[in-house]
Amino acid sequence: MTEPSSQYDNAPELQSLSLGKETQYDNSFDAKLLQGVPRSLNRNGLALGDNLPFSGVDIWTGYELSWLNSKGKPVVAMASFTFSFDSVNLVESKSFKLYLNSFNQQRFSDENHVLQQLEKDLAQCAQGAVSVELILAKDFSSQQIVAPRGDCIDELDIEINDFEFSRDHLKDATSDEHVSQMIHSNLLKSNCLITNQPDWGTVEINYVGPKIDHESLLRYLISFRQHNEFHEQCVERIFSDLMALCHCEKLTVYARYTRRGGLDINPFRSNFESAPANIRQARQ
């Protein structure tokens, strides 16, 4: 198993997380359950500096949100959360789950007060812009499932013997042909930085520049299979490696991960596109 990179070793911001520790579930609402992880932990290791080469968002979907109305009757909803790429912190997922669970026995007069509470608490934790959309039960039937965009590279008949992460797969991986291309892979798997639990995802790559050899790219993506980082960190690493080694002129990296604990995480990074709508894929 690939060890976390040196920038994470003994980081005090990670030592205090509830992730990977036994947790007591409480029926009381508590915004203090939310825990942030500085984005700089990963970005410093990638030598990104203050002038980031991308913009983007982290799009989360919450499938297990419930509260009580003013009469004590339960209400259930889904929620879409959008965090700006330039917030100081990303939100740690277990703490997010515990925070959402703390709504279960809390009374709210209407859904607008729920939304306002969510936006206030999440923005304070992330230290950046957050937008929230609630999807009430009456609107569940309008939810869609879409296929990944672009050509799938997963059917390439390649042999893999080394599962250690390596950006070297992208070295000399381009040709002189200049292309505009959108591709995707369903074979992205990494592991949680703290617990080593598997994170499964589909990644879409849209780029303009020298043509990238699909076999080399697939080997690179598969090399994340035993790599330990959070979802957002993996996407920024992919973006940085493609820019540095494949010399993309325009680039979007968008990963949609399967849900865990009632939440899915979908980081989007681009230097030329706006973030898409939050529409789930089949595995989510």
Q: Yes or no: is domain 146-281 CATH 3.40.640.10? A: no
DSSP string, 162-202: --S--GGGGTT-EEEEEEEEEEEEEEEEEE-TTT--EEEEE
**Phi, psi dihedral angles at 145 (to 5 degrees):** -125, 130
Give the confidence band of 1 by pLDDT, cuts at 50, 70, 90: very low
> Per-residue pLDDT averaged across 245-268, rounded?
98
Dist CA 41 CA 39 (whole Å): 5
Give the confidence band of 15 by pLDDT, cuts at 50, 70, 90: low
pLDDT of residue 2: 43
pLDDT of residue 6: 57
> Per-residue pLDDT averaged across 272-277, rounded?
97
Give the mean pLDDT of the chain: 94
User: Which of 35, 120, 51, 43 is CA-nearest to residue 81?
Assistant: 120
pTM: predicted TM-score of the whole model, two decimal places: 0.93
125 is catalytic: no
Give the confidence band of 49 by pLDDT, cuts at 50, 70, 90: confident
DSSP string, 210-225: EEEPHHHHHHHHHGGG
- CATH 3.30.1130.10 in the chain: give the residue spans: 6-142, 146-281
pLDDT in tens, 258-269: 999 999 999 999
pLDDT in tens, 213-242: 999 999 999 999 999 999 999 999 999 999
DSSP string, 242-273: HHHHH--SEEEEEEEEPPBTTEEEEEEEESS-
pLDDT of residue 135: 98
Which residues, listed in sequence order, are joined to residue 208 by a DSSP beta bridge? 180, 250
Q: Does 93 have pLDDT greater than 50?
A: yes
pLDDT in tens, 106-129: 999 999 999 999 999 999 999 999
pLDDT of residue 26: 79
pLDDT of residue 71: 98
Catalytic residue among 125, 192, 234, 248: 192
pLDDT in tens, 152-202: 999 999 999 999 999 999 999 999 999 999 999 999 999 999 899 999 999
Catalytic residue among 58, 121, 199, 241: 199
First to last CA, the chain: 26
The CATH code of the domain at 6-142 is 3.30.1130.10
192 is catalytic: yes
